[in-house]
Amino acid sequence: MDVVLLIISVLLIAIVLLQGNKATDGAGIITGGNQELFQNMKERGVELFISRLTLILGILFFVISLILFLV
Q: Give me the phi and psi of 11, to 5 degrees please.
A: -65, -40
0.75 exceeded by the pTM?
no
The pLDDT, as a whole number, for residue 1 is 87
Report the amino acid identity of residue 6.
Answer: L
Does the pLDDT value for residue 56 go beyond 70? yes
The pLDDT, as a whole number, for residue 43 is 72
| pLDDT tens, residue by residue, 15-53 | 999 887 665 555 555 665 555 555 666 777 888 899 899
The pLDDT, as a whole number, for residue 46 is 86
Report the distance separating Cα 49 and Cα 20, nearest Å.
Answer: 12
The pLDDT, as a whole number, for residue 28 is 54
